[in-house]
A and B are shown apart, each in its own frame.
Chain A
């Protein structure tokens, strides 16, 4: 009797066990997805979570799915998914930070600022981080910077010093006056380049134009008309070429200042991981 009972029990157990092992079941997809998420394989975690969410709802998986989208740089989709976890989720605060960080990386600064006005979108826990991201949008934009007091108020210590230094350099760049440089070069060949800090080029231009002019005058004096005309032409070319080159160099210099500052700012943000906290979903 007992043996029979055992037999029946194990038979059922076997059948149910065998059927229970389905690696593609909703639950197993979640488990496997979590494993991939933690090992940093976000693109494959994304696939598993997508399958899971098509069958079942889970607030943790929802934010994690949004995070995978963020990690594989599909920022606008990530923003949408983070937004869908704003309410009735155990990660409401994290979702809000995730939402703003996705907008930030998508480069949608206008949307970022518009949503910043909606008070309930801002998580009290991560308000500081969101406001820091907001400040950074101003630094990365072309538009003139607004008043610095509010912008810098979310940064402390070293970061604050660095950010105010960037602020000053962006607000009042050490530009060179292109018109002044060009006029200088027109008066004395090469002097505009010296004003721009390119001493070698300036001196060379001065010597080249001077030498060609001297040769032209010298040849005319010696009655070598053809040679004189040739050197006059070259001297003229050199003179005008230098003026035009100075104007271009001034523009290049000013763009260079902007590009270099921009590079420095981006690098600084990146090195500090955009002042984002480490989040455990």
Chain B
């Protein structure tokens, strides 16, 4: 009996020390969960400092990374997620940390970095069974690069009717073709603007191109060559060029609108895990 008590008392200090760490961890967690991210980082760092055995090293690195990410401080976030990668106790947690680095890169719009890191994970034989997750984040990366068609194809690798695949495909369908708008404007001035729904602008373009074109031709017909050249160059060509430039610009603007509509929808309504 006494021996048991002795043993308990012998290991008690370390147990107490552990319990102190647990209290500290919970304190930090509470701050984190209540949205006081700046202070949470201080307390996770304190936890890390006094945790001499490194029991919470990975956990606190991840949390600090998440807190920085929540503050929009992506550079610091990446630093701490990378620390977490380095201190990961096993492959599975390493993967989680690596995915967090990638998610932060997606959000920071350093999409090339994200692709490179995804390539690295894909080549790593340890993570062959987590290909779905890799594809999932690759899809998100393409979405943030505004490449919705490729994104949908990548999501389809996970599941034929993956909700993100459907959303991406629909977004791609809703987009306008820049080339079509330009070509149709070359042939039929004003129709590029009609295509994107800018009817007033299209009509006015038709008006100007028609009017100045008529003046130009009329000048040549009446043998006023100099007038014809001046009007043709300074007026007709100007409005003709403006017509297809506008068509191109409107398509680009409309496409950004289409993308943003989907992006806002994804950010606010998509239930799955997001960058």
Contact = CB atoms under 8 A, between A and B. Distances in A.
Nearest to A12: B9
Nearest to B18: A21
Contacts of B49: 31-32, 35
A60 interface: no
A256 B211 CA distance: 47
B45 A14 contact: no
A11 interface: yes
B37 to A, nearest CB: 13
A17 B16 contact: yes
Contact of B13 (A17, A23, A35, A36): A17
A7 B46 contact: no
Given A21-B17, A44-B45, A7 B6 contact: yes
Contacts, number: 45
B2 A7 contact: yes
B131 interface: no
B179 interface: no
B264 interface: no
B46 A23 contact: yes
Contacts of B2: 3, 7
Interface of B is mostly: helix
B12 A14 contact: yes
Categorize the interface residue count of chain A: 10 to 19
A43 to B, nearest CB: 9
Given A14-B12, A35-B49, A36-B45, A21 B20 contact: yes
Contacts of B42: 44, 47
B6 A10 contact: yes
Contacts of A7: 2, 5-6, 9
B50 A14 contact: no
Nearest to B12: A14
B204 to A, nearest CB: 28
Given A17-B16, A21-B20, A6 B45 contact: no
Interface string A1-26: 00100110011011001100101000
A11 to B, nearest CB: 6
B137 to A, nearest CB: 30
B187 interface: no
B45 A18 contact: no
Nearest to A35: B49
B262 interface: no
A262 interface: no
Q: Which 9 A-B pairs have the closest CB atoms?
A: A18-B16, A17-B13, A10-B9, A14-B12, A21-B20, A44-B42, A32-B49, A35-B49, A23-B50
15 contacts: A3-B2, A3-B6, A7-B5, A7-B6, A10-B9, A10-B10, A11-B9, A13-B13, A14-B13, A18-B16, A28-B50, A31-B49, A32-B46, A36-B45, A44-B41
Given A17-B17, A44-B45, 8 more contacts: A3-B2, A3-B6, A10-B6, A10-B9, A14-B13, A14-B16, A23-B24, A32-B49
Interface of B: 2, 5-6, 9-10, 12-13, 16-17, 20, 24, 41-42, 45-46, 49-50
